[in-house]
Amino acid sequence: MPELPEVETIRRDLAPQVQGRRVASVEVLWERSIAVPPAPEFVGRLTGRTITGVDRRGKFLLLRLDQNETLAVHLRMTGRLLYRPAGAAPDPHLRVRIVFEGGDELRFTDQRKFGRLYLLDPSGLDTLFARLGPEPLDAAAGREQFLALLRQRRGALKPLLLNQATIAGLGNIYVNESLFRAGLHPLRRAETLTEEERARLYNAVRETLQAAIAHGGTSIATFLSALGSSGRNQDYLLVHQRAGQPCPRCGTPIARIVVAGRGTFFCPRCQPLP
DNA sequence: CATTACCTGCAA
DNA sequence: TTGCAGGTAATG
C-alpha cells in the first residue's frame, strides 16, 4: 500500500501518541509478519521498551526504543499501523498487537500479509538500509546522489525509479505521477537523458511527494493513517489510474501500458518517446 | 530487463 | 473465473 508520503503521514500522526510510551505486552497473531528476530524473541525484547521517537527512512517507519533498539515497519501493500485507545473495537486482519501501559494499543493489521516488522540493533539497521538510495526530501546531498546515480544507470526510467536503490520511497503511484510532471516517457532510457531532463525529473519527484504529503497521502484502496483517517491525494492524481481520461495539461486521453509488471499511466503527447 | 512468488479481496 | 491492486526478493 503505502509509499513515502503515506508512511510520512503515519509518522506525523503517530509520533505524538506513542512518544514516551512503555510497551506492557506484545501479541503476535501471524508469525511471518515478524521478519526478525524469531517471534518469541521479538516479543521478549520489545516488552518493557519505551518509545523515544518516530522516524522514517524511505518506506520504513522507525520506532526508536530505549536500549538502542529500533522497531522498523514496512507496510508493503496492505499493512496498516493503527493507534487505538484502550478497549477499542477489533480491527480486521490484525497480525501484531503492541499494548502500552495504560491499555492503549498500536495495531499492525495487514490483509495480504506482505508487511514485515524488524526489531534491530544499530548494525541490523545499517544492513537494512544498505541498499537504499537517497532520501528524496533531504537537501543538497540527496540531489547530487540522485543525479549521479541517474548518470551512471541504464535502462527504462520506470523500473529504475521503482528500484529503492535509485531513490528511496517511490512506488507505482508516485513514479507515474513524477514522470508526468517531468514530461518524460516511462520507457525513456536513462542513458539518453540530458542534464536538464535529469534535473527536471529530480524536481518533479520532490514536488509530487511534497504535494502528496500536504494532502495526507493517497487512499485509493486501503491506506489509512495511524488515527484511521483517509488521505486526500487521490483527488489530485494527474495520470495514475486515469486511463482514457483527458490529460490535465493537453486533453489527450491518458494511456495505460504495463512496465515492470505494473500498471503504467502517462500522456502520450506530454511524455513523448524521442 | 521480465517473471514468479508471497497473500487476499474485489471488480470486471 | 480472471485480472488487478500502492511492494520487493528471488529467479531466469
Task: Give the three cell numbers for residue A3.
Answer: 509509499
Location of C-alpha cell 513514479: A175
Q: Which nucleotide is nearest to A160 (CA to C1')?
A: B1
Evaluate whether A260 touches A159 at the Cβ level (below 8 Å): yes
- What average pLDDT score do residues A133-143 get? 86
- What average pLDDT score do residues A44-68 get? 96
Strand partners, A25: A99
pLDDT higher at A142 or A122: A122
Sign, CA dihedral A25-A27-A31-A34, equals negative
- What average pLDDT score do residues A88-107 get? 95
Location of C-alpha cell 487512499: A219
Q: Which nucleotides of C are covered by protein (CB under 7 A)?
A: 4-9
Residue A139, pLDDT > 90, answer: no
Bond into A5 cis (ω within 30): no
Evaluate whether A193 touches A150 at the Cβ level (below 8 Å): yes
Residue A220: burial class (beta carbons within 10 Å; 0-12, 13-18, 19+): middle
CA of residue A208 to C1' of nucleotide C9, angstroms:
27
- What average pLDDT score do residues A123-146 get? 89
- What average pLDDT score do residues A165-189 get? 94
Which residues, in sequence order, are CB contacts of A19 under 8 Å at separation 6+? Answer: A51, A52, A53, A54
Whether nucleic acid strand C comes within 7 Å of the CB of A219, the answer is yes
**Amino acid identity for residue A63 in this structure:** L
Over the stretch A11-34, which tens digit does the pLDDT of each residue have? Answer: 999 999 999 999 999 999 999 999
Structure confidence at residue A253 as a pLDDT band (50, 70, 90): very high
Residue whose Cα is closest to the C1' of B5: A114
Location of C-alpha cell 522498523: A72
d(CA A268, CA A187): 11
> By percentage, how much of chain A surpasses pLDDT 90?
79
What is the three-class DSSP state of A90?
Answer: coil
The pLDDT of residue A76 is 92
Whether nucleic acid strand C comes within 7 Å of the CB of A35, the answer is no
Structure confidence at residue A233 as a pLDDT band (50, 70, 90): confident
Residue A251, pLDDT > 70, answer: yes
- CA distances A126 to A39, A123, A129, A195, Å, are 21, 5, 5, 32
Sorted by where each begins, the domain ranges of chain A are: 4-128, 141-266
- What average pLDDT score do residues A254-260 get? 90
CATH topology of domain A4-128: N-terminal domain of MutM-like DNA repair proteins (3.20.190)
CA of residue A265 to C1' of nucleotide B11, angstroms:
20
Residue A103, pLDDT > 90, answer: yes
The pLDDT of residue A16 is 96
Structure confidence at residue A141 as a pLDDT band (50, 70, 90): confident
Residue A50, pLDDT > 80, answer: yes
Residue A54 phi, psi (nearest 5): -130, 120
Task: Give the three cell numbers for residue A219.
Answer: 487512499
The pLDDT of residue A230 is 87
Sign, CA dihedral A240-A242-A246-A248, equals negative
Strand partners, A99: A25, A105
Tell me if domain A4-128 and domain A141-266 are identical in fold.
Answer: no
> Crossing angle, helix A140-152 and helix A195-214, to 10 degrees?
130
The pLDDT of residue A117 is 95
- Average pLDDT over chain A, rounded to an integer: 93
CATH topology of domain A141-266: Helicase, Ruva Protein; domain 3 (1.10.8)
Which are the catalytic amino acids of A? 2-3, 59, 262
Residue A174, pLDDT > 80, answer: yes
Residue A1, pLDDT > 70, answer: no
Residue whose Cα is closest to the C1' of C4: A263
